[in-house]
Every structure is written in C-alpha cells, then in structure tokens.
Amino acid sequence: MNETSAYDSNYYDPTVDKILAVVYLMLAICVLFFNSLEAYLMIRLRNERSVTTVFTCSLTLTDISMGFMGIPFSAIAMSQQRRWIFKDVMCNISGFFINTCTFTSLFSICLITVNRYLALIFPIKYQRFMTIRISQTAVAVVWAIAGLRSSVPFFFGKGYSYYETTLCSWSTKDVFGEQEILFYYLLFVVPFCLSFSAIVFCSLHMVIALIKRSVTKREAKGGKGGDKEKEAVITTLLIIFAFIGCYFCYYFAIFGYLFDIFTMWSDKNFLFLEIMMFLTIYMNSLFNPMLYIIRNTKYKKELKLIKEELLAKYCSKKRAGKGSSIKFKRASAVSVKSTTAKRDTLLTVADDNL
C-alpha cells in the first residue's frame, strides 16, 4: 500500500468526506442506542419470548455488530482522507463483520417473513411444528452460513491500493484468478436469489390473505386476534420494504460488477453509487429497531413502564433531598437555639458575678 492521498486523483471531494464522517458517526451512535434499547426491552420481556422474538433478536444482534465493527471504521476512514490507519488484519476483521452482517440481515428477514407467513396461512400446523428450539437452530444455521461465506475473503483476501489511496478493500484475484466471477456467483447471487425469492413469495401470499380476510376464525367473528395478526404482518412488510430500499444500491453494485454494466459510467456516478451504497446499508441498521419499537405494542407498554419507573425514582430522590434539607434546617435551628440559650445563661451568670 502506498501513502498517496485519495484526493490526488481528483476523484473524491474532501468536503463531502468530512460531512460523511460526521453522518457516519451520528449513525453509529443512533444505531447502537436504538438497538441497545430494543435488546434491553427484549431482556425485560424475556418471560414472554416466542419464535418471532428469537428471529428479531438475531436481527438486533446483526445491527449492533454493524454499529460496532462497520460504521465507526468507515467514519474514521472518511475523517482521515480515506486512508486506512489500522493494520491489515483489522481491515479483514471489519470486512468480515460487515459482510457477515449484510448476509445475516438478509437471512434473518427471510426467516421473519417465512415465520409470519406460516403463522398466518397455516396457524394450526405452525403451533405444532414451530418451537423456540427450532427457531434457535435456524438462527444458528444462518449465522454459520453467513460466517463461512465471509471467512473466505477474511482468510484469503487482502487490502489493496484503490484509486491511489490506502482504502480498506478486498482482492481475491490472487486466490481465485479467473474463477473469481464464479466465486461471487456462488457467494452473492445464489443466496440472494433464493432468500429474496422466498421473501417475495411469502409477502405476496400474506398480502393476498389479508385482503381476503382469511387470517383466522377470530377475525371472522370480529375478534381482536385478526387485528394483531394484521399488525404483525404490516410490521414485517415494513421491515422488508426498508431492507429492499436500503440494500438496493449494494446489490445493484454487485450485479453490475458481475454483468459488467459499469463500463460506460463516469467517476462521479461511481462515487454517488459508493456513497449511497454504504449510507443506505448503515441506515437499515437504524430503521429496523425504530420500526419494531414504534409498531410493537409490548415494547410501547414496556417503555411506558420504564418511563414511570424513572419518574418515580427521580421523584423519590427529589423528596429525599428535600427531606434531608428540611432535617438540616431543623438541626441548624436547634443548634442556634441551644447556642443562644447557652450564651444567655453565661451572660446571666456573668451579671450575677458582677
């Protein structure tokens, strides 16, 4: 790697990168805050855990990992004129976490969608078959597949000089050579197509089921069960739309590289695609917990309880402070009275002696 600045190529704008560094830093703080809040709510509601909670916990863990190992490194790189100031092993570790998180997000949303589809279309079979142990096994398999998929660039990839700068990026050409395109097909295209096809299939069937009002027997009788299922499906669809919108640029860049559609693009177009790709990926880690916190009724009730508990603690401390100040005032008044009484007795004794 050389030490030439990224801006010597007239490709990057230092002002834009400084703004992006601030935006990435604010995103990292918000991502960690909202996902930690969602994790705290899950811990408080651990007695009411279900299959959906296990899948949601997997997605939350993915977003927290992105907030720790992905976004901060991008913010530091942007603030340092796109130079990677850490060691090469940190480049591989950061890239490993980013790639693992991107695929785990896709697989977790696929699991959430399939789970909601089965609960909506086959409610009786779903209750018999889908257990927490099965959901935990599915999550473990998803993380194992994503980790194995990202371990290939982690062990064989390396950082390289890109546009005359020391950017942290990966090159697997030394390992795969002409077979690199096949490698990308197996690790990017096949998992994406399978997962995305399952998401689209389940989403369309859920929408059709909601339109036909064939959710459950409770909904047919005007009960509240159908309303709860409807809210859960709407939340799932919002999560899917947020994922598609945020990861569109990422998968567009991958497919564009594989099918060689960027040959006629200018440098400004590449720069815009690069900025939008990372920015939208990081924003997806913020949208997920916000949607769950806003849409989940249990989370809303728990937040109200937390607010009441904090308010009660604050009021008790305030009352304790007032009580201690009142006690201090009373003690000082008693001490003043005792000292004045002693002074009066001494004066009277002195007068008697005189």
d(CA 93, CA 62): 15
d(CA 212, CA 205): 11
pLDDT at 182: 67
Domains of the chain, each with CATH number or no CATH: 6-295 (1.20.1070.10)
pLDDT at 246: 86
Helix residue ranges, H only, the chain = 14-44, 51-69, 71-79, 88-121, 123-129, 132-156, 173-176, 180-184, 190-211, 217-220, 225-258, 267-295, 297-353
d(CA 257, CA 184): 10
Q: Provide the mean pLDDT of the chain.
A: 76
Residue percentage of the chain with pLDDT more than 70: 72
pLDDT at 347: 39
d(CA 272, CA 255): 17
Query: Has residue 263 got a pLDDT over 80?
Result: no
Supply the pTM of this predicted model. 0.77
How many other C-beta atoms are found inside a 10 Å radius of the C-beta of residue 107? Answer: 25
Which structure tokens are listed for 26?
């604010």
User: DSSP assignment of 13-63, as one string?
Assistant: -HHHHHHHHHHHHHHHHHHHHHHHHHHHHHHHTGGG--HHHHHHHHHHHHH
pLDDT at 161: 46
- 3-class SS at 171? coil
Which band of pLDDT confidence, cut at 50, 70 and 90, is reported for residue 23? very high
d(CA 330, CA 328): 5
Highest mean pLDDT among 8-12, 150-154, 345-349: 150-154
Mean pLDDT of 195-200: 89
Which band of pLDDT confidence, cut at 50, 70 and 90, is reported for residue 354? very low
Mean pLDDT of 51-62: 90
pLDDT at 325: 56
pLDDT at 170: 60
Which band of pLDDT confidence, cut at 50, 70 and 90, is reported for residue 60? very high
Mean pLDDT of 217-239: 68
Query: Has residue 307 got a pLDDT over 90?
Result: no
